[in-house]
Structure 1
Amino acid sequence: MTAVPLVHRDGDIVLGVDLGTTAAKATAYRMGGLGGAVALAAHEYALQQPLPDRQIQDPETIIGAAQGAMRRVIAEVGSENVAALACSTAMHGLIGLDADERPLTELITWADSRATDQARSLIESGAARNLHRRSGTPVHPMSPLVKLMWFAEQEPELCRKVRWWLDLKGWLLWNLTGQIATDLSCASGTGLLDLSTRTWRPASLDLAGVTLEQLPPIVPTTAVLPLGPVPARAIGLPTGLPVIAGAGDGPLGNLGTGALDPGVGGLSLGTSGALRTVVDEPDVDAEGRLFCYALTDDAWVVGGAISNGGIIGRWILDLVGFRDDAELANLAERVPAGAEGLVMIPMLLAERAPLWDPSLHGSLLGLRRFHGRPHLARAAIEGVALQMSAIADSLNEFGPLSSIRATGGVFRSALWGQVLAAVLNIPLHVISGAGGSALGAAALGVLGLGKAGSLKEALLLLDPHAMDSDEPVPVDLRDVQTYQGVRASIGELVAEQARIAKMFEPAGRRVRGC
Structure 2
Amino acid sequence: MFLGIDIGTGSIKILLMNRSGEIQAVHSQTYRCSTPQRGHAEMDPEIWWQSLKMVLQQVPQDLKDQVEAVGFSGQMHGLVLTRADGTAAHPAVLWLDQRSTAELQDYPEDAAERLLNPLSVGMLGPSLLWMVKHRLEAVEQADFAFLPKDHLRYRMGGDACTDPSDSTGTLLAKPDGNWNMGLIHALGLPERLFPEVRPSAAVGGHLSEWAAQELGLPAGIPLAVGAGDTPCAALGSGLLQAGQTQLTTGSGAQLVTLTSSKPNFDPALNAYRATSDHWYVMAAMQNAGVALEWVRSSLSLDWTEAYDLAFQQETSVVFLPHLIGERTPLMDPKARGAWLNLEPGTSRGELMRAALEGVAFSIRNGLEALQKSHEVKHLRLAGGGSGDSRWQQLLADVLQVPLNPVSALHSSGKGAAMLAAAALGHPFERWIKQEDTPEVIPRGDVYQHKFEKFREAHERLKGWFF
d(CA) in 1 for partners of 2:89, 2:124: 16
Q: Of 342, 345, 348, which residue of structure 2 is paired with 1:367?
A: 342
| 1:301 correspondence with 2:269 | no
The unaligned stretches of length 5 or more in structure 2 are none
| 1:61 correspondence with 2:28 | no
Equivalences for residues 114-513 of structure 1 within 5 A:
114-119=99-104, 121=105, 127=109, 130-196=110-176, 198-224=177-203, 225-286=205-266, 288-322=267-301, 324-336=302-314, 339-340=315-316, 342-452=317-427, 458-461=428-431, 463=432, 465=433, 467-477=434-444, 481-488=445-452, 490-499=454-463, 501=464, 511=466
What TM-score do the two structures reach when normalised by structure 1?
A: 0.85
Could you report, residue by residue, the CA deviation over 1:371-419 in whole angstroms, capped at 9, with x for unpaired residues?
3322211111011011111221122244311222222333343322111
Partner of 1:28: 16
- State the Cα RMSD in Å: 2.2
d(CA) in 2 for partners of 1:389, 1:416: 14
Once the two structures are TM-superposed, the CA of residue 285 in structure 1 deviates from its matched residue by 4.0
- 1:169–1:186 contact (8 Å) kept in structure 2: no
The amino acid of 2:311's aligned partner reads E
- 2:64–2:217 contact (8 Å) kept in structure 1: no
The amino acid of 2:97's aligned partner reads D
C-alpha change, 1:434 and 1:285, in structure 2 (3 Å) is farther
The structure that is helix-richer by fraction is 1
Partner of 1:506: none
d(CA) in 2 for partners of 1:442, 1:311: 26
> Which segment is superposed worse, 344-353 or 161-170?
161-170
- 1:281–1:300 contact (8 Å) kept in structure 2: yes
Once the two structures are TM-superposed, the CA of residue 97 in structure 1 deviates from its matched residue by 2.5
What TM-score do the two structures reach when normalised by structure 2?
A: 0.93
The amino acid of 1:446's aligned partner reads A
C-alpha change, 1:410 and 1:488, in structure 2 (3 Å) is same
The amino acid of 2:121's aligned partner reads P
Matched length: 465
Once the two structures are TM-superposed, the CA of residue 489 in structure 1 deviates from its matched residue by 5.3
The amino acid of 1:460's aligned partner reads R
| 1:51 correspondence with 2:37 | yes
Partner of 2:89: 104
The amino acid of 1:396's aligned partner reads Q
The amino acid of 1:433's aligned partner reads A
Instruction: Name the SS for the 1:42 alignment partner.
Output: strand
> Which segment is superposed worse, 300-309 or 152-161?
152-161
The unaligned stretches of length 5 or more in structure 1 are 1-12, 453-457, 503-510
The amino acid of 2:219's aligned partner reads T
C-alpha change, 1:74 and 1:114, in structure 2 (3 Å) is farther
> Which segment is superposed worse, 304-313 or 16-25?
304-313
Once the two structures are TM-superposed, the CA of residue 151 in structure 1 deviates from its matched residue by 1.3
The amino acid of 2:414's aligned partner reads L
The amino acid of 2:128's aligned partner reads L
d(CA) in 1 for partners of 2:117, 2:345: 43
Once the two structures are TM-superposed, the CA of residue 439 in structure 1 deviates from its matched residue by 1.1
The amino acid of 2:300's aligned partner reads G
- 2:69–2:224 contact (8 Å) kept in structure 1: yes
- 1:263–1:403 contact (8 Å) kept in structure 2: no
Once the two structures are TM-superposed, the CA of residue 87 in structure 1 deviates from its matched residue by 0.9
The percentage of counterpart residues that share the same residue type is 27
C-alpha change, 1:410 and 1:325, in structure 2 (3 Å) is farther
C-alpha change, 1:317 and 1:390, in structure 2 (3 Å) is same
d(CA) in 2 for partners of 1:390, 1:294: 24
Once the two structures are TM-superposed, the CA of residue 202 in structure 1 deviates from its matched residue by 2.1
Once the two structures are TM-superposed, the CA of residue 126 in structure 1 deviates from its matched residue by 7.7
